[in-house]
Amino acid sequence: MTSQNIVQFDGPTILKAENVAVYYGDKQVLRDVMLSVPTHKITALIGPSGSGKSTLLRCFNRMNDLIRGARVEGQVTYHDQDLYDPEVDPVEVRRRIGMVFQKPNPFPKSIYENITWGARINGYRGTMDELVERSLRRAALWDEVKDRLHENALSLSGGQQQRLCIARAIAIEPEVILMDEPASALDPIATLKIEELMHELKENYTILIVTHNMQQAARVSDYTAMMMLTEDRNSATVIEFGKTQAIFTHPRDRRTEDYITGRIG
Amino acid sequence: MSLRDAAFESMLQRRQLRGMIFEAIAFLAILIGLLTLALLFYDIITSGVERLSWDFLTSFPSRRASRAGILSALAGSVFLVSLMSIFAFPIGIGAAIYLEEYAPRGWLTDLIQVNIANLAGVPSIIYGLLGLGIFARLAEPITGGRTLLAGALTMALLVMPVVIIAAREAIRSVPSEIRLAALGLGATRWQMIRGHVLPYALPGILTGTILAISRALGETAPLITLGALTYVPFVPDGLRSQFTVLPIQIFNWVTRPQEAFHTNAAAAIIVLLAILLSMNALAIYLRYRFEKRLMK
Ligand SMILES: Nc1ncnc2c1ncn2[C@@H]1O[C@H](COP(=O)(O)OP(=O)(O)OP(=O)(O)O)[C@@H](O)[C@H]1O
Ligand SMILES: [Mg+2]
């Protein structure tokens, strides 16, 4: 119905959703979702509140499995492997496809342990000190915390905590990082730091980010997917996908245009 | 609009009066509680403190009040709760972990939960009967009858619901963000529990276990039902030893007609109270320490 607005991306894709539908109990939340996530690019998921952005994001690392009554239908693939194949262990999936949550959620342990824990449980064999420094540097946090690595992570500011969560996610070397409004609780300066960070991370990782902030989507992302409730308002889907620049300058769908210019949402 | 509105002000006065009356009642309530407690302490301490001495702690019971001590009862109490802890805590905490983290939600789990709460309210003498039937009689070949082991197992059953409930509360209080963070890093369920849920829940679990120990230390009825002896002139020398505990010793002395034994009882109560209060203080201290470490 709206598929003419979904520009099929023809470069390398890492994650793909095909005809995905998600139910919470009896309630259908997503339907007919088609989305290809380009490798080593930043893809933004935008759309009004309740349009299923977080739900779709969670499909990609099987976090929906943890929600009682949630059911995912259709196909979600990672390097063309079905993520929902019964043979696939969700633990393995989450190890490759990391996640940063909306609210910073460091472990109530030291900064150092926050980084090393994930690596340790995943059998990391290298030197922990190096891993900690490398991850914190990549997350642009090293200089601020290098003298207090053994302090509790909860003593950091919100923005520092969020960068720590990013450092923690990249310490286990996933291929993809899913971010659910990672900057929504942060001030503009911390937000800017995280955005810069994403630009650098793009070299090594694929990032899929949910954001409510249109400027942010326009600034950081290469591709944008627009989500919206369908006409009957019962469930939502991706109504438009394409290069961010194209979407923001010449949206094809009227609803996308209304949303990004602030007329609805 | 004027700030002084007569009708409103008189109403406000009434409202504040009501608040003051309630405050007074609440204050009275706590005063009564504290006064009773203080009186109790005063009474016990004045009547028993003269009898407290090293000898009192290290002598066996005797027919002569002035030579009687609480060594066997003290040792019995310590051995009993230690042994009980070995049985009750791993099982209780394990059950709590299972119920909170693994058990599928459904009517069966709900039923189990309700019944654990019910078990916590069952009169302790019923546990004594249960212990008598199962541990002292049925399992006699193992426990040796009315022994320390049978007593510890009975007590373990008695405190288990308390341990499970406290541990479950503690586990449930772990924020879901921490769980999601761990699972999102590719942790298995057990790695998440071991690495984050248990450390976070530890202060709460610890408090629950210490309160369980306090409860067990003061229990008399189930052990009397089970048939713990009242005259034990020896320290338990093994799992299958006969034993007595402090509350039974106290009970025994109180029932004697001679005044001197009542003084002994008061002195023993002071010892028991001292142990109980220090256990509670320990629980509070541990909770405080862990929380500080956790929260910074
Ligand atoms: N655990 C859940 N159980 C039941 N319904 C849920 C659950 N999580 C989300 N939903 C419903 O699914 C729909 C989509 O929610 P979702 O959180 O994915 O939206 P969103 O686009 O991320 O919104 P927001 O921008 O506000 O974060 C909403 O109608 C929401 O009420
Ligand atoms: Mg959301």
How large is the ipTM?
0.91
**Cβ neighbours of residue B95 under 8 Å, at least 6 residues apart?**
B160, B164
Q: What is the average pLDDT value for chain B, to the nearest integer?
A: 91
Average pLDDT of span B142-160? 93
The answer to which of B130-134, B244-248, B286-290 has the lowest mean pLDDT is B286-290
Phi, psi of A86 (to 5 degrees): -60, -20
The pLDDT, as a whole number, for residue B181 is 96
CATH fold label, B57-295: MetI-like fold (1.10.3720)
- Assess contact for B60 and B72: CB atoms under 8 A: yes
Verify whether the Cβ–Cβ distance B180 to A105 is below 8 Å.
yes
Of the CA atoms within 13 Å of residue B197, those in its CB half-sphere come to 28
Q: What residues have their beta carbon closer than 5 A to ion ligand 2?
A: A 54
Distances (CA, A) of B233 to A207, B27, B58, B272, B280: 75, 48, 11, 19, 30
Question: What pLDDT band is residue A178 in, cutting at 50, 70 and 90?
Answer: very high
Question: What pLDDT band is residue B231 in, cutting at 50, 70 and 90?
Answer: confident
User: Is pLDDT larger for residue A167 or for residue B1?
Assistant: A167
CA distance A180 to A100: 6
The pLDDT, as a whole number, for residue A2 is 47
Distances (CA, A) of B258 to A22, A116, B45, B64, B66: 79, 68, 19, 10, 11
- What's the farthest any 2 CA atoms get from each other in chain A? 56
A148 touches chain B (CB under 8 A): no
CA distance A2 to A257: 15
Residue B49: pLDDT over 60: yes
Q: Which of A61, A95, A107 sits opposite B181 (nearest CB)?
A: A107
Q: What is the average pLDDT value for chain A, to the nearest integer?
A: 91
Average pLDDT of span B109-133? 93
DSSP string, chain A: --GGGBPPP-S-EEEEEEEEEEEETTEEEEEEEEEEEETTSEEEEE--TTSSHHHHHHHTTTGGGGSTTEEEEEEEEETTEETT-TTS-HHHHHHHEEEE-SS----SSBHHHHHHHHHHHTT--S-HHHHHHHHHHHTT-HHHHTT-TTSBGGGS-HHHHHHHHHHHHHHT--SEEEEESTTTTS-HHHHHHHHHHHHHHTTT-EEEEE-S-HHHHHHH-SEEEEEEE-TTSS-EEEEEEEEHHHHHHS-SSHHHHHHHTTS--
- Assess contact for A111 and A156: CB atoms under 8 A: yes
Question: What pLDDT band is residue A71 in, cutting at 50, 70 and 90?
Answer: very high
Residue B93: pLDDT over 50: yes
Question: A239 C-alpha vs ligand 1 centroid, how far in Å?
Answer: 17
What residues does each domain of chain A span?
Answer: 3-105+173-260
Distances (CA, A) of B201 to B109, B165, B205, B256: 21, 13, 6, 47
For chain B, the C-alpha Rg in angstroms (whole number) is 25
B200 touches chain A (CB under 8 A): yes
Nearest residue to B234 (alpha-carbon basis) of B242, B223, B226: B242
Residue A6: pLDDT over 70: no
Question: What pLDDT band is residue A73 in, cutting at 50, 70 and 90?
Answer: very high
Residue B109: pLDDT over 50: yes
User: Hey, which residues does A238 pair with through a beta bridge?
Assistant: A227
Q: How far is CA B177 from the centre of its chain?
A: 32
Segment A136-160, tens digit of pLDDT: 998 889 999 999 999 999 999 998 9
Residue B277: pLDDT over 60: yes
Question: What pLDDT band is residue A5 in, cutting at 50, 70 and 90?
Answer: low
The answer to which of A2-11, A15-24, A144-153, B229-238 has the lowest mean pLDDT is A2-11
The pLDDT, as a whole number, for residue B192 is 96
Residue B269, H or E segment: helix B259-295
**Closest chain A C-alpha to B282 CA, distance in angstroms:** 23
Q: Is B283 left (phi over 0), alpha (psi -120 to 50) or beta?
A: alpha
Residue A8: pLDDT over 70: no
Tell me if the domain spanning A3-105+173-260 has CATH number 3.40.50.10330. no
Residue A9: pLDDT over 70: no
Residue A202: pLDDT over 80: yes
Question: What pLDDT band is residue A1 in, cutting at 50, 70 and 90?
Answer: very low
The pLDDT, as a whole number, for residue B200 is 92
Residue A211: pLDDT over 80: yes
Of all residues in chain A, what percent carry a pLDDT higher than 90? 77
Which residues of B are less than 8 Å from A168 in CB distance? 181, 185
Query: Which three-class secondary structure state does DSSP give residue B88?
Result: helix
**Cβ neighbours of residue B110 under 8 Å, at least 6 residues apart?**
none
Question: For residue A168, what is the nearest residue in chain B, using CA coordinates?
Answer: B185
